[in-house]
């Protein structure tokens, strides 16, 4: 466990350095949007490192493990390098450092807060691997009262916020790339939860939406 924590903290530190370099060096931190973005990025991954467990291998996870790893290898490096590089080297087509950028930062912060709330509600059941953990129970409190998958919603909000904050077509493109996978994963996750919790989960599905309160 200690090695995992150290590895995650090393990733956070390294990604912060890479963001500054990709964003043009110290000048990135002299721009308010850049400084706030870096702070939010570090908080985001710190929350993720502290609140997300690996989970145990399962037949549910095995069917999509390769896709998860492949998508992570593509999306995470692009998300670290692409948006700050665009922010530093291009002037358009999305305006920089204006109201839209600050709206993006607010959306990024909202995504982080939602993820933290989801992790707090689930405690050790918030995992990377799809599967049932020892002592697993159905949680319907906190943000789970509003939507069934606040963790996935938080990721979409955060990535969209990143794209807008740094005026990044790469960041927004990643949202388009990742969202269909998340919807596909949600379908598999809900089949698992119905199989494990039965009528209890079916009732919960009737009372809540998947991702967007009152809409979907």
pLDDT digits (tens, 9 = 90+) for 62-76: 777 788 888 888 899
47-56, 95-104, 115-124: least confidently modelled range:
47-56
Query: Measured between alpha carbons, how far is 87 from 23 in angstroms, rounded to an integer?
Result: 7
Average pLDDT over residues 20-38: 96
Burial (CB count within 10 angstroms: exposed 0-12, middle 13-18, buried 19+), residue 108: buried
pLDDT bracket for residue 201 (50, 70, 90):
very high
Residues facing 53 on adjacent strands: 127
- CA-based nearest residue to 139, from 152, 126, 153, 128: 126
pLDDT given at position 4: 74
Residues 157-170 have pLDDT tens digits of 999 999 999 999 99
pLDDT bracket for residue 129 (50, 70, 90):
confident
Distances in Å between the alpha carbon of 30 and those of 13, 26, 98? 19, 7, 15
Mean of pLDDT over the chain: 90
Residue 184: CB atoms within 10 A of its CB come to 12
Whether the per-residue pLDDT at 123 is higher than 90: the answer is: no
CATH ID of 2-207, from 3.20.20.70, 3.60.20.10, 1.10.3720.10, 1.20.120.1630:
1.20.120.1630
Whether the per-residue pLDDT at 111 is higher than 80: the answer is: yes
Share of the chain above pLDDT 70, in %: 96
Residues 188-198 have pLDDT tens digits of 889 989 988 99
Average pLDDT over residues 168-175: 95
Whether the per-residue pLDDT at 148 is higher than 90: the answer is: yes
Whether the per-residue pLDDT at 134 is higher than 80: the answer is: no
pLDDT given at position 143: 95
Average pLDDT over residues 131-137: 74
Average pLDDT over residues 25-41: 96
Whether the per-residue pLDDT at 1 is higher than 70: the answer is: no
pLDDT given at position 200: 94
């Amino acid at each position: 466990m200690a090695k995992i924590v150290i590895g995650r903290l090393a990733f956070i530190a390294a990604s912060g350095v890479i963001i500054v370099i990709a964003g043009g060096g110290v000048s990135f931190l002299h721009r308010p949007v850049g400084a706030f973005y870096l702070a939010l990025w570090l908080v985001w991954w710190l929350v993720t490192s502290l609140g997300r467990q690996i989970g145990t291998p399962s037949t549910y996870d095995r069917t999509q493990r390769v896709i998860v790893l492949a998508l992570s290898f593509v999306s995470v490096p692009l998300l670290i390098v692409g948006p700050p590089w665009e922010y530093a080297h291009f002037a358009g087509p999305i305006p920089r450092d204006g109201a839209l950028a600050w709206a993006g930062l607010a959306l990024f912060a909202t995504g982080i807060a939602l993820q933290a709330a989801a992790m707090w509600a689930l405690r050790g059941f918030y995992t990377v691997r799809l599967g049932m953990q020892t002592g697993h129970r159905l949680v319907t409190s906190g943000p789970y009262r509003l939507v069934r998958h606040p963790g996935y919603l938080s990721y979409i909000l955060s990535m969209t916020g990143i794209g807008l904050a740094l005026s990044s077509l790469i960041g927004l493109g990643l949202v388009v790339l990742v969202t269909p996978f998340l919807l596909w994963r949600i379908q598999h996750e809900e089949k698992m939860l119905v199989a494990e919790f039965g009528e209890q989960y079916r009732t919960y599905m009737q009372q809540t939406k998947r991702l967007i309160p009152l809409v979907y």
